[in-house]
Structure 1
Amino acid sequence: MKAVHVPASEADKVKKTADWGSQVWLANRSLSGAALAVTRLTIHPGKSGERHRHPGSDEVLILFRGKVCVHTPMEDFMVQQGDGLTILGGLTHQIENVGDEDADMVLVYSSGDRKYVAE
């Protein structure tokens, strides 16, 4: 057994930046050998990621700052600072920042090899 420390300074070197915001991985199978995956996501006001799903992997969203709407085929969820939302594996969803400040969140996936399928 071992622990894998990912300093913010190292994680920021592989940060993905786009017009919608940024994403940085903190844990997954390839990065740390973990059986789950963890990423820090920032979405700018009025922006959203694309509609997508994660086959075979549940996702837990924990919002630390801002306000987002998570769109699913059956229902939209308004998520406020401090809230959590579980999205079961395979469910198509899209995260939209509906607030007036950056939305900062951590996403945790039940698989260290989480898949991403754009819709």
Structure 2
Amino acid sequence: MGRGGLTPAGKVVVEPQDWGRLDWMVSGAIGNSDTMTVGRCTIEPGQQNPPHHHPNCDEVLHVVSGTIDHRLGDEQLPMSAGDTISIPAGTVHNARNVGSEPAVLMIAFSTPDREVIGE
């Protein structure tokens, strides 16, 4: 496909997780961007992704639906549909679904090849 172009719903790269799933639409690995990564994160009720950080990129997280508590460094931030957070590179963070429905989050990274380091 090269740089740019359409990612049809059927071509989204799905990564199942114990706590939910990650769906990737744009990235260097997919081959449609050399500057960023874009995806969707779904966290099941009562679940959370592990604390982690990205040493090589900033992240922007936008809550599409659901309610989460987001750890950003030493802060716990309640977030719900419509809320957006900017996460600087190297900052430990994670999201916990505190609602009764799946939480859906759009995520974007400032690199096509994000690195993830768990805590």
TM-score, normalised relative to structure 1: 0.91
Structure 1 outlier segments of 4+, above 4 Å: none
| 1:89 CA drift (Å) | 0.6
Q: Give yes or no for the alignment of 1:54 onto 2:23.
A: no
Map residues 72-83 of structure 1 onto 2, 5 A cutoff.
72-83=72-83
Aligned equivalent of 2:11: 10
| 1:16 CA drift (Å) | 1.2
SS at match of 2:113: coil
CA distance in 2, matches of 1:4, 1:116: 26
Q: Which has the higher helix share?
A: 1
Q: Give yes or no for the alignment of 1:19 onto 2:25.
A: no
Map residues 86-101 of structure 1 onto 2, 5 A cutoff.
86-101=86-101
Change (3 A) 1:2 1:108: closer
Give unmatched runs, 5+ long, in structure 1: none
Query: Match for 1:10: what amino acid?
Result: K
| 1:7 CA drift (Å) | 0.7
SS at match of 2:16: strand
Aligned-pair identity in percent equals: 31
Aligned equivalent of 2:29: 30
What is the RMSD of the two structures over their aligned residues, measured on CA atoms?
A: 1.4
Aligned equivalent of 1:65: 65
CA distance in 1, matches of 2:7, 2:72: 32
CA distance in 2, matches of 1:22, 1:74: 25
Deviates most, 72-81 or 92-101 = 72-81
| 1:71 CA drift (Å) | 1.0
Give unmatched runs, 5+ long, in structure 2: none
Q: Deviations over 1:9-39 (max 9, x none)?
A: 111xx31112311111111112113301111
Query: Match for 1:33: what amino acid?
Result: S
Q: Which has the higher strand share?
A: 2
Contact 1:51/1:118 (<8 A) preserved: yes
| 1:2 CA drift (Å) | 5.3
Deviates most, 1-10 or 80-89 = 1-10
Q: Deviations over 1:33-61 (max 9, x none)?
A: 33011111100000001110000211100
